Structure 1
């Protein structure tokens, strides 16, 4: 799911989009415009506070070397807090900041937002008194009010007057910059109020700070920068004062999208709850309502054209009747602009690990798709049951780096996950959900990992504060649309099959027996197959791939194995291939009908005659019920390297067919 609020389409939670811009301002001196009476500065400074969040005390991460913190500026490396915005006093224990500044604390790995004065004293937020998501402001009290002299207000600002944007960053002093109140502009949704536009410079740390007249009176709350011009935006202070007390208003238009298709919902989040509330309770109520909205949008977007949602509708047929599901890198089933569903496999780099391990990577939008081939020295039971084993392999990718000054420091361990649970998708595949913390970046790493014989098929995202519920709900839905084959050496299969609690439900009907150098057998409700070394070598490094996907099955679609492929070894090119085929619907195009007709009538290449292509010799035949109008047929291939004689290939094919029994009709 994506909350799309920016013209460039970058996906963030809408209510969090400005927070990123509000972190990291460094102000090093107190500056004021010449026309602002210097006598006002002590009052302005006393009533203006920095909004901060405590840096994490404990770091679960391990690094390749000690962090070179001496490369950081003195203030940054010694400050125990992060600066996230500005707040100011307008009455007795009555403070204002931007709504998005406060919401930086939702689901944060940092401490709850607090205020810090110019002397460095920290004041915890006590009660949230007013809140408006759309107007982006919050009014609150402090648990231990320092009782500064509040700023006066002016609710009738005059266009073209001089104004002063005030911000406080990193506790180093109040920054005051001058400009003009240039114009008003209707808010973008439906013009319910007007934003103030002003030319005074405003850095990220100004967010939530006051916009003052030359008399030092507050006329607005600084909220955001213009995307494409040198003007900034503030909310009139009158809109804050006139808002109803004792109420949190969550009302905003948000555009909602799911990565499997271009369908977009343009709806409003609309909710209210009673204030005052303590900060923790406020965050809980906010998250609950936000989560409810996410759930509703997710349900609605999947219900939209539900009769055409994969695997339903004509747009699914090309994928359902199109052949093997053999990709080892997980792919996402997506719908294109014509309404056709296809498998998107975004192949990327392959990164080598020790002991024959590797990680194959791909990226689609915000999601990383990974295939981890576990090192031979890493037992399947340890990989599946010890989250640190997975994290260690992921860290070797070099995706997790910490910037310290001019250096990039590689993270070598993620520590213990915050979450370690199992999610069973619609097709009864069991994914391990692990969430790790990167406290220094206030970011979480979310992984859904599907155990496969060779290791894991993984989808992964990074979640910023406030995005955890959205991200996990989104990825949980995507698991229903992920396809990957089950592949590994016979030695890996033996280890994998022992982890019965993590096997897909469909595998309960599958029985695999491996006796090296003697016999291999596979049995399911669809077919039984066995062979001996007369056909092909049976060694620990023989490679078995089960193509598992979405199969038409007597009027419904099921997730099951439709392909069995066995390769003698990585070095030995001899291999066999057995693939299930269902009769295509009448409205499918001629290419599907032609393929099916070749199978039924045993036309090339299914006439049991050897042929050579790409340096290999192939031979193939159909298997299954030889009725006048079969509903299911299996195509059977045997392949050998180089040019082979017909007798040699026919002997192999006969052995393959002799060991094959088709059970379904």
Structure 2
């Protein structure tokens, strides 16, 4: 995710270039109170004729469906009746040349709204024709209009204003007309990156609606472009108009610091977004060219970041061992593997909300960093093939929980459907897991929901983000990489597993080497290149309602990172209060220096000590019995891999009965690896 330092002192620190630029301009939707100015009244008509509101057309069609009609009558009159969003200010230089802030124009990059245009005091809208010159770092753009306003007049320029003189910040937000506020031109401040120019500092009040508007001297002459607010003091920033006039014609110039970061560690990749392309270009062509360069820079940044961290990444890097060798956790809620401040990799994320759906369906929701984490359990009445194949159906199930709401006039209205996604693809992560990638537009917010869904037997787990529309490429770069660090248990009833196993395209590559077979009432079997076992109803009933967990985990095989099953757990039923189960679990000898509990456990396993001594015990309302199973042939060497076989049943039962069940489970259990 990028943090582009285009205008370093804009209020608030946004982690994305486009998000910061867009949201800053959008604050212009909220207006500001005017302070009386004392300019000569004779120059006011000229200023008004030369100053324009920058607007973007509101979307005509809304793909979302709501629980009830939106209460638009609660919105202020201007907001509910205006067909445009106000995003900033622009002004005329003469000869069909107009100026605004680069960050105002960039609201249109990837936008779900109409293209930015100028609107005069009479409400007439003028489309932008050509982009003539552009500077990302200095935050300005010069452009022409397809149709010239009849009353447009150019502002007279003063390229050498004097310090400590009265100045006037001019803005036109929400179609309320020209607002002029006075103050002093107090100082010059070198720009932060290389001191290539100086910002003008002034005390005239300025709201984000002023972005791109003119800064005038005491005589109403143009001296700068109002660009940004000071974060901590009432001294605002403008670019001297002399910088605009001196900039080369026919060029778009990008030369700004940028930082890229992923949510799995604190490392930043600092770089400079440096590119140029020729102008003039039509507005759409300009956006395509700019986005092409910025997306290519994003690609370079994430590659450089991962290259910088390659020797330290889980599961090969330092701090990975504890997570690699701890006992396999079974958790149907997805977690993200993140490196903490102590350098240790750990699973982060937990269920924060639980929503109940009909037919035993549910949605668990949580978050890590900028990412939503979700587990959607498919309702029993929803056909499996339709569920996995229909992104709209899955999203509508999420919406059914009421977790998505749109606020209108202070009232929260539930979104009941997002319609069809505008993009659908499949991303295969490092571990050969197929993530369904879907993008849903939210035109009213100029935003997207980007969602990565991983099919699992009982439904799917999801990585999700709500992002500005311009951030689609950047977001997918992030989620492509983050998907490699998702820890998830595959869980489902045997009936759900049957439907899941019938669809190879839904399955991770690891399942291709695993054969799971069951014949209700007769036999259950599991076979992989690592371990194989089977049992009959004499050990535990075999029914469609059995609940099977495959505990996939990350590990190293001869130094090679793998993602494979290390825990097979089958409950007698899906009922949460009935934990009768059989379990076969893999353990690997831990390296020296890890936690004492890991070393102690391995010693107990190796020496068949309690509780791995095939002696029944009563714990947590269950009778339990464990035994250790060694590899079939270890070549005389001490094995580095051991398996346990477990049987548990509610109530109390004699040792002989428990041992008989355990023997039934281990009778055909074979360990092939060592």
**TM-score normalised to structure 2 length:** 0.95
User: In the alignment, what sits opposite 2:121?
Assistant: 118
Alignment of 1:233-248 (within 5 A): 233-248=237-252
User: In the alignment, what sits opposite 2:504?
Assistant: 500
Match of 1:344 among 331, 348, 352: 348
Deviation, structure 1 residue 434: 0.3
User: In the alignment, what sits opposite 1:180?
Assistant: 184
Match of 1:599 among 602, 605, 608: 605
Q: What is the aligned length?
A: 665
Alignment of 1:28-39 (within 5 A): 33-39=36-42
Match of 1:160 among 156, 160, 164: 164
Deviation, structure 1 residue 215: 1.5
The answer as to whether partners of 1:419 and 1:433 remain within 8 angstroms in 2 is yes
Q: Does 1:439 align with 2:443?
A: yes
Match of 1:43 among 39, 42, 46: 46
Deviation, structure 1 residue 663: 2.3
Measure the CA separation in 1 of the matches of 2:242 and 2:514.
Answer: 70
User: In the alignment, what sits opposite 2:547?
Assistant: 543
User: In the alignment, what sits opposite 1:372?
Assistant: 376
Measure the CA separation in 1 of the matches of 2:561 and 2:606.
Answer: 23
User: In the alignment, what sits opposite 2:83?
Assistant: 80
Alignment of 1:425-436 (within 5 A): 425-436=429-440
Secondary structure of the 1:254 match is strand
> For residues 37-79 of structure 1, what are the alpha-carbon distances to aligned partners after superposition, in whole Å with 9 as ceiling and x for unaligned?
1111111111111111111111100000011111112211111
Alignment of 1:208-607 (within 5 A): 208-571=212-575, 572-586=578-592, 588-607=594-613
Alignment of 1:53-202 (within 5 A): 53-146=56-149, 148-202=152-206
Match of 1:656 among 647, 665, 670: 665
Measure the CA separation in 1 of the matches of 2:28 and 2:588.
Answer: 62
> For residues 591-620 of structure 1, what are the alpha-carbon distances to aligned partners after superposition, in whole Å with 9 as ceiling and x for unaligned?
433322221211111111112222222211
Secondary structure of the 1:23 match is helix
Deviation, structure 1 residue 191: 2.3
Deviation, structure 1 residue 9: 8.6
Closer/same/farther in 2, CA of residues 50 and 544 from structure 1, 3 Å limit: same
Closer/same/farther in 2, CA of residues 328 and 2 from structure 1, 3 Å limit: farther
Deviation, structure 1 residue 305: 3.6
Deviation, structure 1 residue 570: 2.9
Measure the CA separation in 2 of the matches of 1:264 and 1:380.
Answer: 42
Closer/same/farther in 2, CA of residues 607 and 14 from structure 1, 3 Å limit: same
Secondary structure of the 1:620 match is strand
Measure the CA separation in 2 of the matches of 1:36 and 1:9.
Answer: 32
* Structure 1 unaligned residues grouped into runs of 5+: none
Measure the CA separation in 1 of the matches of 2:417 and 2:368.
Answer: 25
> For residues 373-432 of structure 1, what are the alpha-carbon distances to aligned partners after superposition, in whole Å with 9 as ceiling and x for unaligned?
111111221111111111111212333211111211111000110111111011100000
Alignment of 1:597-636 (within 5 A): 597-625=603-631, 627=634, 628-636=637-645
User: In the alignment, what sits opposite 1:647?
Assistant: 656
Measure the CA separation in 1 of the matches of 2:127 and 2:403.
Answer: 36
Measure the CA separation in 1 of the matches of 2:658 and 2:613.
Answer: 12
The answer as to whether partners of 2:63 and 2:418 remain within 8 angstroms in 1 is yes
The answer as to whether partners of 1:565 and 1:575 remain within 8 angstroms in 2 is yes
- Point out the more displaced range, 192-201 or 619-628: 619-628
Measure the CA separation in 2 of the matches of 1:34 and 1:95.
Answer: 24
* Structure 2 unaligned residues grouped into runs of 5+: none
The answer as to whether partners of 1:526 and 1:664 remain within 8 angstroms in 2 is yes
- Point out the more displaced range, 546-555 or 40-49: 546-555
The answer as to whether partners of 2:37 and 2:180 remain within 8 angstroms in 1 is no
Instruction: Give the RMSD, CA atoms, in angstroms.
Output: 1.9
The answer as to whether partners of 1:135 and 1:235 remain within 8 angstroms in 2 is yes
Closer/same/farther in 2, CA of residues 294 and 637 from structure 1, 3 Å limit: same
Measure the CA separation in 2 of the matches of 1:497 and 1:201.
Answer: 65
> For residues 207-253 of structure 1, what are the alpha-carbon distances to aligned partners after superposition, in whole Å with 9 as ceiling and x for unaligned?
00001112111111011111111221111111111111111111111
The answer as to whether partners of 2:530 and 2:671 remain within 8 angstroms in 1 is yes
